[in-house]
Amino acid sequence: MKHTFLASMQPLGTIKNKKGHHLNTPPLWETSRAQHCQAKRYSWAMKNMTGQELLAAYAAGERNFDRADLNGADLNGADLREADLSGANLSGANLHGANLSYADLSRANLSRADLGGANLREANLSRANLREVDLIGAHLRDADLRRADLRGAKMES
């Protein structure tokens, strides 16, 4: 059995944040899986990210962006199926036409975001802040909106 997993791995310390600083994390092969998952989970928590950074990480296989700060991010038409954006700050973000089906947006701040035409099928929006959000043309079939704040939201009648 040929093992190519480690040969293709880059040390996590080579990852740079948006200011070009290296993240001080050990290579994957020097950590347990639990430590690695915890390090990755922490790396996005409360970090100010651009839409491009999120899309690059998503394309690389990352799905956990809980508590990420994406205030005003341009994610127009983005494919973010099954992404974990729980507790994330997406206020004022452009998510027009984005695919957020099966995504976890529980407790996320989406105030004043553009979700027009977005696919939110089976998305978890429980306890999300959806104040003044544009939901015109959004697909909300089987979405969980329990305890979501929809005050001032624009919706089709």
CB 69 within 8 A of CB 54: no
Residue 33 lies in a domain: yes
Does residue 134 fall inside a structural domain? yes
Instruction: Assign residue 35 the CATH number of its domain.
Output: 2.160.20.80
- Give the whole-number percent of the chain exceeding pLDDT 90: 68
What are 88-141's pLDDT values in tens digits? 999 999 999 999 999 999 999 999 999 999 999 999 999 999 999 999 999 999
For residue 141, being part of any structural domain is answered with yes
Residue 12 has pLDDT above 50, yes or no: no
Q: Is residue 12 included in any domain, yes or no? A: no
Question: Residues in the chain, how many?
Answer: 157
Alpha-carbon torsion 16, 77, 62, 125, what sign? positive
CA-closest candidate to residue 88, choices 77, 97, 75: 75
The pLDDT tens digits for 21-76 are: 444 444 444 444 444 444 444 455 657 899 999 999 999 999 999 999 999 999 99
Angstrom distance (rounded) from CA 40 to CA 139: 31
For the entire predicted model, the pTM comes to 0.72
